């Protein structure tokens, strides 16, 4: 998954009152729209005064939670401009499901294009209330939803006056080798002096052990891998390496400089021991570690959010975090071919590389990749975040500026707090000034 906008929403801010709303949406906005389903969203009018702006936090690849309205940029903007706050839930995630059964056939209406049309309908519905007749509309999103926020301004400029795209990977890319290159860069900048060399040695040792039956047996004992898992199978090795690389990804994406250094210090000498983190394997139901490709596939099929997001990866975005670059310490252990095998195993043999390529090309043609033709959109990224490599890091124009926050992580501005680093608070003030300027609210409670 791209990941939710922040890893700990419980720390964002104040308690707000939010009402749950439902709206009927067509399953297919662009074809036969007679079949409908119920989409959930949340409304908070705690700070609202008549004709104040409408701030919409766009939901992404997870269940929507109104706690995202309780702090960060959206809460500050609503307080300072007498605005209303909303959060939408993306189709096929959380409780906004067109179908109970997420079969491949039923997933064909899951796309960013359909999701944007859903948000457009929510805006139209809100604007039918006379209290909002003259309200400006600002959409805000983080991660995949950050891309959606920018794309809402692109595709529905008549409905959206401004947007904040936080950590939005607007470029679809099949072989996303840039992610682990950025992880390498982060660990080189902020890790201990021997961290990358120790990591290279550990992963090289893993590869050597996996080449012999004796080495495999030793590895299975040290890592508490279930006896029935065939570690000579390249598919199971793929899962093993994915799990062992994951902590590095987590610290770059969400931890930041201090956590990266702490992680390096905790590695010490020896192996990255997955037995210490087996509780993080959501499909692990045994006393041993089920490091198996099939266990991973079964988990995806059973977890609706992961299932839905993988479908979008396989049909729209790619985002396969490979080790095909040599500028990373793990070796060539995560191939794009194996990610495509995951697509085919979950959705069917027709979800092959050609299908992925077609989806990626269609997405970039539709939205403009890293140069979307938009105005009144501010693109925000943390310079530690590996996802920033697919985002907008330089101003597209005076009306489409880019803000890169030093030492900040994925979607850090979404959850800015009074105790956040000064660089992040300063960036948030710049973001708010852009939005207030674009919606004509510069003199309201500033």
Give me the CATH number covering residue 77: 3.40.50.1820
Q: Is residue 187 part of a domain?
A: yes
**In 3-state terms, what secondary structure has residue 21?**
strand
Q: Residue 279's pLDDT band (boundaries 50, 70, 90)?
A: very low
Cα distances (Å, whole numbers) of residue 398 to 148, 356, 377, 434, 441: 21, 34, 10, 10, 18
Residue range 301-335, pLDDT digits in tens: 999 999 999 999 999 999 999 999 999 999 999 99
DSSP string, 80-116: HHT-EEEEE--TTBTTB-S-SS--TTGGGG-SHHHHH
Which is it for the CA torsion 62, 68, 72, 78, positive or negative? positive
User: Minimal CA–CA distance to 401: which of 63, 109, 165, 104?
Assistant: 165
**Which of 327, 361, 395 is the C-terminal boundary of a domain?**
361
Average confidence (pLDDT) over 410-416? 93
Which is it for the CA torsion 133, 138, 140, 144, positive or negative? positive
Residue range 31-72, pLDDT digits in tens: 987 899 999 999 999 999 999 999 999 999 999 999 999 989
Same structural domain, 202 and 293 = yes
Query: According to the model, what pLDDT value does residue 40 have?
Result: 98
Query: According to the model, what pLDDT value does residue 285 have?
Result: 62
Question: Quick check: 208 pLDDT over 80?
Answer: yes
**From start to end of 221-312, where are the E strands?**
none
Same structural domain, 203 and 348 = yes
Residue range 100-112, pLDDT digits in tens: 999 999 999 999 9
Same structural domain, 313 and 194 = yes
Q: Residue 277's pLDDT band (boundaries 50, 70, 90)?
A: very low
Query: According to the model, what pLDDT value does residue 262 have?
Result: 96
Same structural domain, 223 and 351 = yes
Q: Is residue 4 part of a domain?
A: no
Q: Is residue 209 part of a domain?
A: yes
Q: Is residue 183 part of a domain?
A: yes
Measured distance CA(379)–CA(168) in Å, rounded: 8
Q: Give the list of residues 6+ apart from residue 429 with CB closer than 8 angstroms, or none.
A: none
Which is it for the CA torsion 230, 234, 235, 236, positive or negative? positive
**In 3-state terms, what secondary structure has residue 141?**
strand
Q: Report the number of distinct structural domains present in the chain.
A: 2
User: Which domain does 142 fall in, by range?
Assistant: 9-170+368-439
Same structural domain, 422 and 308 = no
Two tokens, residue 119: 């948000």
Same structural domain, 162 and 283 = no
Same structural domain, 195 and 131 = no
Measured distance CA(367)–CA(425) in Å, rounded: 30
Same structural domain, 31 and 123 = yes
Cβ(151)–Cβ(113) below 8 Å: no
Two tokens, residue 274: 């997955």
Measured distance CA(259)–CA(149) in Å, rounded: 29
Q: Is residue 245 part of a domain?
A: yes
Measured distance CA(224)–CA(290) in Å, rounded: 9
Query: According to the model, what pLDDT value does residue 2 have?
Result: 52
Q: Give the list of residues 6+ apart from residue 325 with CB closer than 8 angstroms, or none.
A: 177, 178, 180, 181
Same structural domain, 269 and 204 = yes
Q: Is residue 20 part of a domain?
A: yes
What ranges in 268-421 are assigned the alpha helix state H? 293-302, 304-312, 336-347, 353-367
């Amino acid at each position: 998954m791209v990941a939710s906008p922040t890893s700990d929403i419980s720390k964002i801010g104040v308690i707000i009152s939010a009402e749950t709303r439902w709206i009927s949406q067509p399953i297919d906005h662009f074809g036969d729209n007679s079949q409908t389903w119920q989409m959930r969203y949340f409304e908070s009018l705690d700070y609202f005064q008549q004709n104040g702006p409408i701030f919409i936090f766009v939901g992404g690849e997870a269940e929507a939670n109104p706690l995202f309205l309780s702090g960060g940029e959206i809460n500050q903007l609503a307080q300072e401009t007498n605005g209303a706050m909303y959060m939408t839930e993306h189709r096929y995630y959380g409780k906004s499901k067109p179908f109970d059964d997420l079969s491949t056939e039923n997933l064909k209406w899951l796309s960013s294009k359909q999701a944007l049309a859903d948000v457009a309908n929510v805006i139209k519905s809100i604007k039918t209330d006379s209290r909002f007749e003259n309200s400006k509309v600002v959409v805000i999103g983080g991660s995949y939803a950050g891309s959606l926020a920018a794309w809402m301004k692109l595709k529905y400029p008549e409905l959206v006056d401004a947007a904040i795209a936080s950590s939005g990977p607007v470029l679809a890319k099949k072989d996303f080798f840039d992610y682990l290159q950025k992880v390498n860069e982060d660990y080189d900048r902020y890790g201990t002096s021997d961290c990358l060399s120790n990591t290279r040695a550990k992963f090289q040792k893993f590869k050597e052990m996996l080449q012999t039956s004796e080495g495999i047996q030793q590895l299975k004992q040290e890592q508490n891998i279930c006896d029935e898992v065939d570690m000579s199978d390249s598919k199971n090795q793929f899962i093993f390496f994915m799990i062992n690389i994951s902590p590095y990804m987590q610290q770059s994406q969400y931890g930041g400089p201090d956590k990266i250094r702490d992680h390096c210090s905790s590695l010490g000498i020896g192996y990255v021991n997955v037995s210490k983190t087996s509780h993080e394997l959501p499909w692990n139901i045994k006393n041993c570690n089920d490091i198996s490709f099939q266990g991973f596939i079964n988990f995806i099929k059973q977890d609706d959010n992961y299932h839905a997001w993988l479908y979008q990866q396989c049909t729209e975005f790619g985002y396969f975090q490979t080790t095909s670059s040599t500028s990373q310490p793990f070796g060539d252990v995560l191939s794009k071919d194996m990610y495509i095998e995951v697509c085919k195993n979950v959705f069917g043999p027709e979800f092959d590389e050609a299908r992925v390529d077609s989806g990626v090309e269609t997405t970039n043609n539709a939205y403009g990749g890293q140069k979307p033709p938009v105005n009144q959109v501010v693109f925000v990224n943390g310079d530690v975040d590996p996802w920033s490599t697919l985002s907008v890091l330089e101003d597209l124009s005076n009306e489409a500026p880019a803000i890169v926050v030093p030492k900040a992580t994925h979607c850090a501005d979404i959850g800015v707090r009074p105790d956040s680093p000064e660089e992040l608070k300063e960036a948030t003030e710049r973001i708010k000034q852009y939005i207030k300027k674009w919606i004509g609210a510069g003199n309201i409670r500033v």
